[in-house]
Chains A and B, each alone.
Chain A
């Protein structure tokens, strides 16, 4: 049983790290603000989701699992809002670069 849990954790966290890596590469390589934001917000939210999914089998009980999921939800909410605000500022200032 423990081995199965560990396999899920390793798989989930590895998938999460892959998406974080992809998002970071996008942040560094894409040419302007909007595409960078696009890479960062999408890939990182998914990556954090995989990390949380991978950690869920390691939690002691339902309470800890719910705390982990709520952390993911809060990051989704904050990340989406901040991306919107940055994108709007970038468009209004007309820089986009």
Chain B
């Protein structure tokens, strides 16, 4: 087994785990973390493809590498925006649930503020 196969399977599993956490976990913060896990698996896929394209004295194709660097920064800014939204939701609604019925009952309950 080469490094490409080992890490490729690892990346595939990270994508699967991230997707499962994104759907099955009720808490928004956990969803954000799971989404980052999914993204990191996709980035690793780019790394695998770049590693297989090693040529001309480079151990890894520079074009996918540059795309991943851009992607990591964009993923970070998206995460920061999502967390700012979440904190604002918590500030206004007093809870971070995405369930609309539970959110309504929390709002009508004066102790929920």
A–B contact, 8 Å CB criterion (strictly below): no
By a beta-carbon cutoff of 8 Å, the part of chain B in contact with chain A is: none
By a beta-carbon cutoff of 8 Å, the part of chain A in contact with chain B is: none
